[in-house]
Structure 1
Amino acid sequence: MENITQLKALLGVPKNIVITTHRNPDGDAIGSSLGLYHFLNKGGHTVRMITPSEYPENFSWMPEIEKMVVYDIDPEYSQELVEKADIIFCLDFNALDRIDKLGDLIEPTKCHKVMIDHHLYPEGFADFLLSDTTASSTCELIVDFIHLLGMESDLDVKIGECLFTGIITDTGSFRYSTSAKLYRIVGELVERGVDDYKLQDLINNSMKEKHLRLLGHCLNNRMEILEEYNTGIFYLTKQDYEDFDIQRGDTEGIVNYLLKIKNVKMAAFIMEQPKIVKISLRSKGDFSVQEIAQKHFKGGGHKNASGGFSFQPLETTLKRFKGVLPQYRDKLAAAVI
């Protein structure tokens, strides 16, 4: 991060700070927001968190998550907080359109803006930028940020648990996007008192009965394997959403089950939601799904985890996805796992 000295000086005096993250926040978005929130509170700042939409219920155990302001529920209070902010931290997104109407509020403000993110192609709206596409997660970068400030002694258990949570979820419990540096970071967090076993249990072993029944439905009734393209597909219909009472976060992680099949190198989860069809893509090894998401489905993300959307009907979107696969047949066949 360039001009870290200037940012450190700004943070040396208590400020009104807003932390925001992307719509439909996942574990990394929530963990990085809460971790930074608790860290900045130690510096005597007045800190508020705003998310464009509600967070998944399965993260409700995280410390002080209830203090997150949801723009969709309270846009007027969100606007008031943005207008009063001296500094706005933008976490786990690389463009203001990723936070919808909240981005329209933030863009014209004169306050200092800080982006901390690990996605490709960050927009240039921030005054301070910490961007690393090789990082496992934004939570990993928050640890880097605290070290850059020379304030690692402030990393306590509460901050560490939040950041460890985002690292677990964005790496699929350390199955991908790992590095020697990441393991040094999580080792540091454990040394500071983080109970990684407890966190793994809270994150991975807190399903409701309906979650397992939904997974069974996907495996038994909504799975298609395209062997010639080393690709697996799950899909859900609007009726499935009603039958299983699918709420925000209920489908998290299901797409990864396709990658358990030996020769499947790319997995797609295509979900028919009320207004759009959402596409979640995952891959193994050196095959990148980022290009498919960006080029064909107005999305983006990372090499092994990306997403997009379509305004076409589910059947049309499925056909369209299958239609692009011949372009990637050779790359998928040659991909090294």
Structure 2
Amino acid sequence: RSTRTAVITTHMNPDGDAIGSALGLWHLLRTLGTSVTVMLPNAAPSNLLWMEGSGAMVVYDESSRKILDDTDTIFVLDLNAISRLGDLGAAIVASTATIVNIDHHTYPEDFAGVAWIDTDACSTAVMIAQIANVIGSYTPAMAMCLYTGIMTDTGSFRFPRTTSDVHKTVAKLIDEGADPVRSYDEVMNRGSVGRTRLLGLALSTMGVHAGGRLCTMVVRNADMLANNCTREDVEGFVSQTLALEGVTMGILFVELEGETKISFRSKANTYVRDLAALYGGGGRVCSRRTGEGKSL
């Protein structure tokens, strides 16, 4: 409550939880009279820009450095390593502001003056909702952002950490104005013909290994270009690897210019965090993404 000026940031290539939690906290701090800016290391995907407040987000560059210099608190959400902020991370470390890290991923680095890490939480958005519950301040726009963050990071409420408490929180958010139908439609039902064709090509590369327990899939850069797609369009493809009976672990390889991005997913008692960490990734026990540019 004592924060007068704040910057909220989250990881590169932000997903629904990153943007939902950041905008949810943005709305919350504004109700408390705080002057606050959401600053991203790179642009958010188009299917998340419908949330109220997204138009006020800024992408970090040297011209926005003054915002960091003039703030007293920086909230770093949904990431466990400052390197996941790119150049923005270095600027944050060099600032004199108090750094607050709120996150649910494992293996957190010690870069913040204040840290709240809950590895049992299903998402960072649900943690922001807990703060809103304590403060007792909600707006419909805030509820919508937080609902979207929870919905996306739980795989539409089907991942293991979707507990009864999560559903109670979601019920509260709906009561406060979140619209589940619109949230799902805006995030999930905005695909293009090119993206659908690209998914078909990726599915044709599926391979099953390790006695049917591992499924791999490849997205080729040439196919992305031929269908006018970008890396943003590949978001969510990796979940298709777990759709086969008996598969407990899936790996998606995405060819980019000069590098390969790898995404891991797992279920049941199969944990992929240590494997992901070999390539600079980290985060959730059963669902995580690697870094890029590492040698395979």
Q: Which band: TM-score by shorter chain?
A: over 0.9
Note if 1:45 corresponds to 2:29. Answer: no
How many angstroms apart in 2 are the aligned matches of 1:300 and 1:242?
29
Return the offset for 1:298.
2.0
Runs of 4+ in 1 over 6 A off after TM superposition: none
For residues 1-337 of structure 1, what are the structure 2 equivalents within 5 Å?
A: 8=1, 10-11=2-3, 15-71=4-60, 75-147=61-133, 150-152=134-136, 154-176=137-159, 177-220=161-204, 222-228=205-211, 230-294=213-277, 296-309=278-291, 311=293, 317=296
CA RMSD of aligned residues (A): 1.6
How many angstroms apart in 2 are the aligned matches of 1:252 and 1:238?
14
> Letter of the aligned partner of 1:219 in structure 2?
L
Return the offset for 1:237.
2.2
How many angstroms apart in 1 are the aligned matches of 2:38 and 2:15?
15
Partner of 1:331: none
How many angstroms apart in 2 are the aligned matches of 1:286 and 1:155?
37
Sequence identity percentage: 36
Are the aligned partners of 2:51 and 2:145 in contact in 1 as well (CA < 8 Å)?
yes
Which structure's residues are more often helix, by fraction?
A: 1
Return the offset for 1:100.
1.1
SS of the equivalent of 2:12 reads: coil
How many angstroms apart in 1 are the aligned matches of 2:239 and 2:37?
34
TM-score of the two chains, using structure 1 as the length reference: 0.84
Return the offset for 1:146.
2.2
SS of the equivalent of 2:106 reads: coil
SS of the equivalent of 1:134 reads: coil
Are the aligned partners of 1:57 and 1:248 in contact in 2 as well (CA < 8 Å)?
no
User: Could you say if the C-alpha distance between residues 66 and 310 of structure 1 is closer, same or farther in structure 2, counting changes exceeding 3 Å?
Assistant: closer
- In structure 2, list runs of 5 or more residues that go unmatched: none
Q: Which has the larger radius of gyration?
A: 1
SS of the equivalent of 2:234 reads: coil
